[in-house]
Amino acid sequence: MSSITVPPPKCLQKTFVAPRRHMFGPGPSNVPPRILAAGAEPIIGHMHPEMLEIMSDIKSGIQYAFQTQNNMTIAVSGTGHTAMECAIFNAVEPGEGVLTAVNGIWGERAAEMAERIGTWLLWDTFHMAPCSLFLTRALWVALAKHKPVLFFLTHGESSTGVVHPLDGIGDICHKHNCLFLVDCVASMGGAPLHMDKQGIDILYSGSQKVLNAPPGTAPISFSERACQKVFNRKTKPVSFFLDMTWLANYWGCDGKPARIYHHTAPVSAFYSLRESLAILAEQGLENSWQRHKEVAEYFHEGLENMGLKLFVKDKNARLPTVTTIVAPPGYDWKEITSYIMKNHNLEISGGLGPSVGQVLRVGLMGGNSSKASVDMVLEALRDALRYCHKSKV
Ligand code: PMP
């Protein structure tokens, strides 16, 4: 008599083959064969010398992508949210203030994370209309009034399609004894960004956008100023998994000769991340920024020629990686995205957070940032508008 009361599931007897899709939503993007192949290499131990060398390569690749000399530069095992929590949980102690610029969903999320560890919740004081850029004067006033220890800003707001200028903000934060934390999950590699020159203290990103690696690893870097705060805390960070004291040792950033086991790193994901950073380095960061800009402009022109409207009116504030299109009036946006998925095997998405129901979002990132992809999206949209319109008449 078998002791098994739950039988083996029938569904697992079927072979799984992932559908082939054009991943033109706000992420994840398509992973090119070279990066997929790197991820399929045999597993080695997470503490083997070859693995530590791969991690060192990843660190160099992130330093290049972020344009930073920061020694405290690693990839967190987890998605963009994990890096966001890593930044906030390590830099802030309960009772300290965090100021969050809310120009879309990511500022809201950062505020929620800060709230969960018992910091003051200041984001309402800096709430902006979805497409607006804040004025540095307003930031100056907010910092002087609230004296936060951390100011959060999203560089590429993927929910609204806005790229926020960063020049000068770090200086203002530092004059107020405040660290400058920036989210570049949706912008890194696709829009100019200079961590050191722009005085950014903590910067994080994700693997699944411009880098075209599978989701699940997240680059993050801490400036010397940030390290002073992070490594001189009175209390331990709330998360053991994200404690930078441990992670700094695992990544060989703390100067100690021995590395101590902290967690089993996602070995295959690190292989893929390394390969994606190698591709970015081969292509050149400036070339990548330029290509994303040119392809985005070509796309925007094509959309306007079709009679569609861009959600972000100010051309300079348009994020080159994720375009937000005003949801065409009279159409159901869900019908459009479903039609395109079904008939063109192509993902585009609706809005997120404050832009839900208002926009369609198209992400053209890394290898997907090409005029051929734009032509494909424009054709799919043209077809959907014809068909979806007809279906309503
Ligand atoms: N920040 C931004 C700007 C993003 O676009 C995303 C992902 N859409 C995230 C953070 C969160 O990343 P993840 O989904 O990998 O946790």
The CATH number of residue 306's host domain is: 3.90.1150.10
Residue 213 lies in a domain: yes
Assign residue 244 the CATH number of its domain: 3.40.640.10
CB atoms within 10 A of CB 134: 18
Cα(89) to centroid(ligand 1), Å: 17
Residue 5 lies in a domain: no
The pick from 185, 188, 220 for probing ligand 1's pocket by mutation, whose C-beta has the most ligand atoms within 8 angstroms, reads 185
pLDDT recorded at residue 393: 46
Tell me which of 281, 311, 345 is where a domain ends: 281
Q: Indicate the burial class of 8 (C-beta count within 10 angstroms; 0-12, 13-18, 19 or more).
A: exposed
Residue 2 lies in a domain: no
Q: How far is the C-alpha of 258 from the C-alpha of 66, rounded, in Å?
A: 27
Residue 296 lies in a domain: yes
361 is in an annotated binding site: yes
Residue 109 lies in a domain: yes
pLDDT recorded at residue 138: 83
Pair (226, 118) in one structural domain: yes
Of the candidates 239, 247, 246, 256, the one whose C-alpha atom is nearest the C-alpha of residue 220 is 247
Pair (177, 91) in one structural domain: yes
Residue 41 lies in a domain: yes
Average pLDDT, rounded, for the chain: 94
Tokens of 18: 């992932």
Pair (265, 182) in one structural domain: yes
Pair (277, 292) in one structural domain: no
* Residue recorded with tokens 């392809």: 295
Cα(80) to centroid(ligand 1), Å: 5
Pair (209, 103) in one structural domain: yes
Residue 9 lies in a domain: no
Residue 7 lies in a domain: no
Q: How far is the C-alpha of 367 from the C-alpha of 374, rounded, in Å?
A: 12
Cα(317) to centroid(ligand 1), Å: 19
The verdict on ipTM greater than 0.85 is: yes
Cα(363) to centroid(ligand 1), Å: 13
Pair (309, 274) in one structural domain: no
Give, for all 393 residues of the chain, the pLDDT tens digit. 899 999 999 999 999 999 999 999 999 999 999 999 999 999 999 999 999 999 999 999 999 999 999 999 999 999 999 999 999 999 999 889 999 998 889 998 999 999 999 876 565 545 666 666 667 888 888 899 889 999 999 999 999 999 999 999 999 999 999 999 999 999 999 999 999 999 999 999 999 999 999 999 999 999 999 999 999 999 999 999 999 999 999 999 999 999 999 999 999 999 999 999 999 999 999 999 999 999 999 999 999 999 999 999 999 999 999 999 999 999 999 999 999 999 999 999 999 988 889 999 999 999 999 999 999 999 999 999 999 975 554
Give me the amino acid identity at 379: E
Pair (103, 120) in one structural domain: yes
- The residue whose CA has the least distance to atom 9 of ligand 1 is 80
Pair (202, 72) in one structural domain: yes
What is the number of domains present in the chain?
2
> What is the per-residue pLDDT across 150-174, written as a single tens digit (0 to 9) for each?
999 999 999 999 999 999 999 999 9
Pair (245, 190) in one structural domain: yes
pLDDT recorded at residue 354: 83
Residue 79 Cβ contacting ligand 1 at under 6 Å: yes
> What is the per-residue pLDDT across 220-231, written as a single tens digit (0 to 9) for each?
999 999 999 999
Q: How far is the C-alpha of 317 from the C-alpha of 83, rounded, in Å?
A: 25
CA of 82, closest atom in ligand 1: 16
Pair (295, 272) in one structural domain: no
pLDDT recorded at residue 127: 63
CA atoms 176, 177, 178, 179: torsion sign: positive
- pTM for this model (two decimals): 0.96
Pair (220, 340) in one structural domain: no
Domain containing 310 equals: 22-27+285-392
Tell me which of 252, 281, 310 is where a domain ends: 281
Pair (322, 253) in one structural domain: no
